[in-house]
Amino acid sequence: MKQIRPRFRAADLPGYVLLGFWTFVVLVPLWVMVVNSFKPSLDIFRDPFGLPPTVSVEGYQSLVTGSSFLTYFLNSLMITTVSIVGVLLLASTAAYGLVSWNSRASRYLLLVFLAGMMIPIRIASINLLSLVKDLGLMDSLWGLFPIYAAMGLPMGVFVLTEFIRSVPKEILNAARIDGAGSVRIYIQVIVPLIRPALATVAIFNLVNLWNDLWFPLILIRSDDQRTLMLGVTRLFGQYQTDWNKVLAVLTSASVPIILLYLFLSKQFIKGLTAGAVKE
């Protein structure tokens, strides 16, 4: 069978130019970060965009020996993973409940979740600080969990509600006729069908939670409880900054996000393009 190649149309040229420009804007900072992480500090200022004349791995060696980088990395990995799993569980069950609840009240409740996407959670920092203190979670990674769950729930509920609504009613009715209850339908029917949406929610929340500095800066004081982004701030001195080490930390911190995106890329693209093409 002859393969049909897509034709290039002049009308698509502005889109390709814009996409190429955006790719350039995204890749240049990554290039600068990765390349300079292998340069001595003086070479970074001499030629920040060029290849390293001599490869230096001192920044990466200092992360393994004589630093708390591994502790910060594991702290960020733990709280981010727990928060994302919690967001996916809470958002998917809430979305399933909203779709199954045939009432006008469910629409108003969905609007409450949507309002959470419009109001920045940082404006409630003082109240959240008091709440975490009352719960006895100050200076603890677990104090970040309820805040991160609240950060991810609005977008998660919004995306997953629309996906669950697109599930054919015939499938759900057939499961009920077979004697399946709501919990079994959720686990065996809903969750497998909304995997692209779950991947989309996970990646969006991963970027926000992994790079968050605001709430760890407010809630965390102990060195052994610091997250990775909070630990990076220790590398910035008042008069001098070891940029080789800073860029090595930032390069290492970007690896989990890249790996997760590559692992979930197919599901992520399906989640973004769902409904764009009529089958």
* DSSP type of residue 8: P
Task: Give me the pLDDT at residue 99, please.
Answer: 85
pLDDT tens profile 209-218: 988 889 998 8
**Cα–Cα distance list, 61 to 12, 65, 154, 259 (Å):** 47, 6, 41, 22
pTM of the model: 0.79
Q: Which amino acid is at 8?
A: F
Any idea where the domains of the chain sit in the sequence? 68-273
pLDDT tens profile 7-36: 667 777 888 889 889 889 888 888 888 888
Mean pLDDT of 53-78: 81
What class is the 68-273 domain? mainly alpha
Q: Would you place residue 87 in the very low, low, confident or very high pLDDT band (cuts 50, 70, 90)? A: very high
pLDDT tens profile 158-213: 889 888 888 888 888 888 888 888 888 888 888 888 888 888 888 888 888 988 88
CA–CA separation, 108 and 163 (whole Å): 19
Q: Would you place residue 250 in the very low, low, confident or very high pLDDT band (cuts 50, 70, 90)? A: confident
CA–CA separation, 46 and 2 (whole Å): 54
